[in-house]
Amino acid sequence: MVTDASPSGRPGTEDSPGTRARTGLLVVGSFVVLLYLIEILNTALFHSLNRTFGLRPRSLDGILDILTFPLLHSSLAHLMSNTLPLIIFGFLVFLAGRRVFITALAASWLASGLVVWLIGGASVTVGASGLVFGLFSFLLVRGFFNRNWWQIALSVVLFMAYGGILFGVLPTVASFVSWQAHLGGAIGGVAAALLLSTRRQQALPPGR
């Protein structure tokens, strides 16, 4: 017989909504704190880290920069502009589960970096805005893939509150920022939502 018990002996408490919410705040909050610590160090070094670890499009060594460029920012104001949406969207995604959060974040991170590497401009790209767009797009579309009315209702609320940022994927509108990072992040978020959709999971053969 298999029981759903937590290490403390209380069934279900390990993954209860309250526990998941607290863990989500801790994980997302810790990530944001890490971004600020990096920005403080980067500022002290006159943002020299950007030249070393920022994403350089279409250069072979720039491929490794995909792993680091969202951790860096051009200024404290740049980081602050990403902070609140990153916390809100990251927390809401984490409420769906740790695996969902990791998948959505990783897909947004990698897709954002790949698009910048392939079609980015000549300048070095830094910033977590691709992650913001990825998590946001994930939240916008997952309800439609899952046919979940609660998730669709949340996506409508989020669209009404933050939908304007989607113009950031257009080069004519976002010419002063990396629209490529925004577009790539959004693509990654949609891909993650499709990959994790409950309908797709139910359609997979047993054991997959």
User: What is the reported pLDDT for 9?
Assistant: 43
Q: Token pair of 113, please?
A: 């970096």
User: What is the reported pLDDT for 1?
Assistant: 36
Tell which residue, 124, 122, 137, 121, has the closest CA to residue 182.
Answer: 137
Which domain, by its residues, includes 59? 16-203
**What CATH code is carried by the domain that includes residue 182?**
1.20.1540.10
Burial of 105 (0-12, 13-18, 19+ CB in 10 A): buried
- Give, in order, the Cα–Cα distances in Å from 200 to each of 66, 108, 160, 203: 29, 20, 28, 5
Residue 199 in domain:
yes
Q: Residues 126, 55: contact at Cβ < 8 Å? A: yes
Residues of the chain short of pLDDT 70, as ranges, are 1-14, 172-176, 199-208
Q: Residues 96, 145: contact at Cβ < 8 Å? A: no
User: What is the reported pLDDT for 52?
Assistant: 94
CA gap 14, 10 in Å, rounded:
8
Residue 149 in domain:
yes
Domain count, the chain: 1
CA gap 92, 43 in Å, rounded:
30
Residue 7 in domain:
no
Burial of 81 (0-12, 13-18, 19+ CB in 10 A): middle
Residue 6 in domain:
no
CA gap 191, 108 in Å, rounded:
9
Residue 11 in domain:
no
Cα 95 from chain centre? 14
Residue 142 in domain:
yes
Residue 4 in domain:
no
User: What is the reported pLDDT for 175?
Assistant: 56
pTM of the model: 0.88
